[in-house]
């Protein structure tokens, strides 16, 4: 019995250290999949906006255009893509997309009603 508890504790400790936090993973996913267009500073890449012929404010993740969308709308754009933005539903699970939306919300303090 004592051996089983030690084994469970060791496995739990290993798993906790081996799996990155969702928040850290969301930021890593952003850096890997989004930063080239939306910028490291999350305010959009002007050269990409010009190349894709989109308004710069549509690429600014900290601005009113993006932050004014509902969580469901943001998740839908990430999952299904929009315009020149590709779909990520084959790459990111629904939970990962939700965590990415939470990450985007964390970029700007939310006003309290």
Residue range 23-80, pLDDT digits in tens? 689 999 999 999 999 999 999 999 999 999 999 999 999 999 999 999 999 999 999 9
Q: At residue 5, does pLDDT exceed 60? A: no
CATH topology of domain 21-106: Cytochrome Bc1 Complex; Chain D, domain 2 (1.10.760)
As a whole number of angstroms, the distance between CA 50 and CA 62 comes to 19
Structure tokens at 48: 């990409």
Mean pLDDT of the chain: 84
Paired with 82 in beta bridges are: 85
pTM of full prediction above 0.85: no
């Amino acid at each position: 019995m004592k051996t089983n508890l030690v084994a469970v504790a060791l496995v739990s400790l290993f798993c906790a250290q081996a799996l990155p936090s969702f928040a850290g993973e969301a930021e890593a996913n952003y850096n890997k999949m989004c930063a080239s267009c939306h910028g490291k500073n999350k305010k959009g890449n002007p050269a990409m906006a010009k190349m894709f012929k989109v308004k710069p404010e549509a690429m600014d993740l900290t601005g009113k255009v993006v932050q004014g969308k509902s969580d469901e709308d943001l998740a839908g754009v990430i999952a299904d893509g929009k315009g020149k933005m590709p779909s990520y539903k084959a790459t990111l699970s629904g939970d990962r997309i939700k965590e990415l939306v939470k990450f985007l919300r964390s970029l700007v303090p939310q006003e309290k009603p």
